[in-house]
């Protein structure tokens, strides 16, 4: 690959057009040979990237976004789910198209396959540089996803952004204010109000969104339950202290073998001995039967309050002098 073309590709997020390859000295035969050999890969019609040696996974989100912008004449800011992929925000559904935002009134092409275009204002402080491309900031991406996606998916993305993508809660609220009155902003506001960096996985985020949707009181997150007698403690996913109930979100990554399963069983027994009802919730349960899952927890509230009252009564008896 000629050095002139390397420089052109570097300015465009790593991609280049057939015309640019020809203009920098490659022949049409060179282009065909490099594509056939797998040294170059077609990202879009007439838009190529140098393929990493031995990589058969195809162009990644950066290349796809760069190629989409190139097809639009270098216009558009990477946004929504595509921005989330570039910024490391977890998504329930990554989507199947490249998403770009253009300012309102900007001329839009009649048809650009594989690209979804959004029209919205893009203040300078809502845009950053990601892999050499203009990308909505992590906070603006949270708001865009909260406006567009279903509530549960928006919460998963917002929690992930706060937990691992460097989003700042105050900045998220500031961007929310900047977008006041936009379509979907009420849903985005609900998402921001619920978002919490302490949610440690998409399953925990999904559970919290379901609890909120179905009118459950909000639990404490990642809270310690402690045995006052010997100091043993456990950190639990969700705790309703007044209802004496613990809920654990059971992603299968927790369990890597029989020893882990045994440790988890003993841990649950200790939590129950402390007077808590314990409910385990899986991805399948919360996605396929959210109402049934919440009803299981509500039934556990009854058991948990009974256990809690019995524990408190026992502690009171132990402290009462004869």
Is 173 exposed, middle or buried, given 0-12, 13-18 or 19+ CB atoms closer than 10 A? middle
Q: Over the chain (322 residues), what is each successive 10-residue block's mean pLDDT?
A: 87 92 94 93 92 69 92 93 96 92 81 89 94 94 98 98 95 97 97 97 97 97 94 96 95 65 90 94 96 98 89 60 50
Q: What is the pTM of this model?
A: 0.88
pLDDT of residue 316: 53
Non-local (6+) Cβ contacts of 277 within 8 A are 244, 245, 246, 300, 301, 303, 304, 307
SS3 220: strand
| Greatest Cα pair distance in the chain | 100
Structure tokens at 320: 């009462």
Structure tokens at 49: 């990237």
Domain positions in the chain are 1-52, 60-197, 217-319
Q: Do domains 1-52 and 217-319 have the same CATH topology?
A: no
Integer Cα distance of 117 and 76 in angstroms: 8
pLDDT of residue 308: 80
1-52 CATH fold: Arc Repressor Mutant, subunit A (1.10.10)
SS3 234: strand
Integer Cα distance of 200 and 203 in angstroms: 8
CATH class of 217-319: alpha beta
pLDDT digits (tens, 9 = 90+) for 83-124: 999 999 999 998 889 999 999 988 777 678 889 999 999 999
pLDDT of residue 213: 97
CA distances from 35 to 13, 30, 255, 270 (A): 19, 9, 44, 62
pLDDT digits (tens, 9 = 90+) for 133-173: 999 999 999 999 999 999 999 999 999 999 999 999 999 99
Q: By C-alpha distance, which of 274, 218, 276, 267 is closest to 246?
A: 276
pLDDT of residue 110: 65
| DSSP secondary structure string for all residues of 50-80 | EPPTT--S---HHHHHHHHHHHTTS--EE-H
Q: By C-alpha distance, which of 252, 283, 279 is closest to 268?
A: 279
pLDDT of residue 98: 95
């Amino acid at each position: 690959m000629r050095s002139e073309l390397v420089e052109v590709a570097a300015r465009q997020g790593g991609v280049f057009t057939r015309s640019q390859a020809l203009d920098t000295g490659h022949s049409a035969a060179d282009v065909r040979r490099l594509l056939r050999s797998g040294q170059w890969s077609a990202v879009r019609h007439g838009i190529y990237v140098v393929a990493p040696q031995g990589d058969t996974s195809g162009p990644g989100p950066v290349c796809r976004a760069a190629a989409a912008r190139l097809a639009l004449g270098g216009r558009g800011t990477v946004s929504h789910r595509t921005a989330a992929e570039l910024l490391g925000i977890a998504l329930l559904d990554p989507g199947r198209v490249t998403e770009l935002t253009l300012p309102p009134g900007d001329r839009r092409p009649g048809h650009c396959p594989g690209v979804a275009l959004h029209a919205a204002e893009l203040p300078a402080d809502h845009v950053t540089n990601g892999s050499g491309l203009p990308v909505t900031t992590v906070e603006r991406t949270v708001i865009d996803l909260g406006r567009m996606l279903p509530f549960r998916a928006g919460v998963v993305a917002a929690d992930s952004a706060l937990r691992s993508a460097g989003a700042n809660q105050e900045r998220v609220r500031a961007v929310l204010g900047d977008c006041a009155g936009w379509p979907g902003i009420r849903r985005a506001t609900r998402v921001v109000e619920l978002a919490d960096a302490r949610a440690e996985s998409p399953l925990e985020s999904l559970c919290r969104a379901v609890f909120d949707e179905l009118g459950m009181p909000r639990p404490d997150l990642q809270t310690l339950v402690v045995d006052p007698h010997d100091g043993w403690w456990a950190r639990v996913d969700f705790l309703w202290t007044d209802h004496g109930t613990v809920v654990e979100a059971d992603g299968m990554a927790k369990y890597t073998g029989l020893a882990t399963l045994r440790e988890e069983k003993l841990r649950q027994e200790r939590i129950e001995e402390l007077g808590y009802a314990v409910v385990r919730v899986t991805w399948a349960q919360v996605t396929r039967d959210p109402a049934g899952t919440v009803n299981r927890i509500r039934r556990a509230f009854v058991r948990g309050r009974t256990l809690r009252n019995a524990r408190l009564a026992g502690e009171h008896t132990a402290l009462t002098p004869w």
